[in-house]
Chains A and B, each alone.
Chain A
């Protein structure tokens, strides 16, 4: 009972947040909406006994990623409001068709036994504590875990390169000369 109420409440919050993200003219409002959705999803994780994942969701997604987004929004075009007109012909009808189709297909897939494989494993009690997750992560899934190390390293290097050597960076390569120069 309690679970149902919490679910419904936070489901509404999530949807409203998503709509807000879509509809807001001001980019910061969009970010706020997404933030709300992410918090709701963290709540859903707790309802599903995935405590560790919920914590990570809040820390990484809501904490780091959205903060990053807000930084960039501040850097770029906070004062610019997006126009209302749609330039691409038929984009809106096409989108509606596509999205409705996607939704329908996903729901249909989700209800089918072939995709979900329900009733294969029976009801079990899953405890999403750190220990359980860590056992799986550092046990069976060690190699993918280590690969993510590489992924993060590369992402960091790439970002630094873009920032330093891209346009307007400290060490931007001047196109007229062959060597690097300090761009003041």
Chain B
């Protein structure tokens, strides 16, 4: 199984004081695919993301990325392994322009001491331009990132993540706050990132239309526990999932 799944989460538990945010959660993210994670507000989706990328220590369980146990690794180390996440509240470097935001997002897997003082590289600049074009921000590339609209900042954050050449990209609600007319374009780009760049995607999403369109396999969390998983159509018709969303719990 392990050669098929790139992330394997087994029985992880995370509590904050008395609040159990995740309880014995297990899941697998298929290599090269698009996996979704849904669940009502407060069901522990973002906590699960944070646990996987090493944002906080977990109370129990195991997290393996490419067959390596990473549950004790720190955020930077995990990112340098090629497991990257974007934030629900978009985070970009506001006082720097878009190109600079891209240039600082290059992969750092083998970065040594002297790489800190590297001069601007033409190839990297061209790659930054291409990716900005890919997300549709090329015309705005010299603007300060903080001056972009919220939706544009989301696109920039996505482009920065691609610049990092991750093996797996974990997206926390990529379409939240984005103009509905732009959502289709974003879904298309996410699919292309998966197909053309070969990046495995693991996506938290509230918008059902988006996740049903995007993911091949969906996990559903409720009250910190894994409620169900399966293909989009299975999840759509699962009575437990419907109940959870309608508040029958």
Answer yes or no: do A and B interact. no
Binding site for A on B (CB under 8 A): none
